[in-house]
Amino acid sequence: MADSIEFVPAEYSSRTQPESTAWEILRCDPRGIDTLVAAGLPFEYRSGMRHFDVNDLYNLGMYSGRSNTQPELAFRMLFRFAGRSVDDLLHEKRWDFRVQLECVGCEGVAPWRFEAPDVVRFGGRVAGVVAPRASEGTAGYEATVTTAGARTPLVSAELRRLTRDYLEAGYRWQMIPVAMQADYQLVHALGVTSCIAASLSLAERFRAAGYRAEAKRGWFCGVLGGALDLPHACVEVEDDDGVIKTVDIAKAQLAARLSPNTGDFRELCVGSIYNKVIPSTASGNASFATHECGSRLPVHVRADIRSVR
């Protein structure tokens, strides 16, 4: 399984997961890990134990073809919705939206800047906002977010062609660290892609064709219990009819890989709005939060988004 994926290059890699986590994710024993290491799985010794990058472990599982690894089970569960009627994705949906911010290298009390949910432009609402106040170390954001859906497929033949060309180019979807995704040329040069990298690249192709387009980050909801922290991004583009459309290229690609009967969902990804995504004000290669304490380390952002019934 090791020669089927691209490992995260050392400069973007964070080898912090102990071997016991690798056994769990890959449902294998120490001998299985020895085989992967012999085949090139990068590791580092920490306190005498081998440690691995979580993205490498996830990608190995996802493309193992064994069907019992954690990532295979998680992705199949996560994308079950994509094979159902897309009508369920078009009605209003309410979410209890909570985000924890942690400034790991914090240097004192300071204001926070948080890229909040930005759903009003797409027919949604935000209520009960509790925004982070100046503090040291940690803070939170809470709101009740209502998302909507709308069938607004791309009408421009040129935009549709560029989207199709990208989908047919054969980039392999992998979990990739967010910082590496910003280096989207490197990602694509390796023959792989991921949500943010794909959106940055497609936005650039749309702009080169004369369209106003920007990659934007957001949250992909319905990720059970935070088991899978899947960064979300899509492209916002002004179509020939003057309407801002969203192209969720990586979800279309993932759905195609994970399930055969997802044609309607994949079409929805090419221009329309669906209720499982909460767009934010963050641009494609920006972080969701910063703390103005002077620390240069990135703020950790952990979202807990639950459906309100």
> Which residues make up the interface to Zn ion (CB under 5 A)?
103, 106, 291, 293, 295
What burial class does residue 170 get, using C-beta atoms within 10 Å of its C-beta: 0-12 exposed, 13-18 middle, 19+ buried? exposed
Contact 225, 46 (CB under 8 A): no
Residue closer to Zn ion by CB (options 112, 211) is 112
303 CB-side CA count, 13 A: 26
143 CB-side CA count, 13 A: 18
Residue closer to Zn ion by CB (options 15, 291) is 291
The position carrying tokens 């691209």 is 6
Cβ contacts of residue 31 below 8 Å, gap of 6+? none
Residue closer to Zn ion by CB (options 154, 293) is 293
235: nearest Cα among 187, 167, 169 = 167
Contact 293, 108 (CB under 8 A): yes
Tokens read off for 18: 């102990």
Kindly report the number of other CB atoms within 10 A of residue 152's CB atom: 17
Residue closer to Zn ion by CB (options 252, 293) is 293
Tokens read off for 150: 């709308």
CB of 296 to Zn ion, least distance (A): 10
Max distance between CA atoms of the chain, in angstroms, equals: 61
Q: Which residues pair with 102 in a beta bridge?
A: 138, 300
Contact 244, 216 (CB under 8 A): no
Residue closer to Zn ion by CB (options 69, 290) is 290
CB of 132 to Zn ion, least distance (A): 11
Residue closer to Zn ion by CB (options 100, 295) is 295
Residue closer to Zn ion by CB (options 103, 234) is 103
CB of 66 to Zn ion, least distance (A): 42
CB of 261 to Zn ion, least distance (A): 47
CB of 217 to Zn ion, least distance (A): 21
140: nearest Cα among 149, 130, 150 = 130
CB of 295 to Zn ion, least distance (A): 5
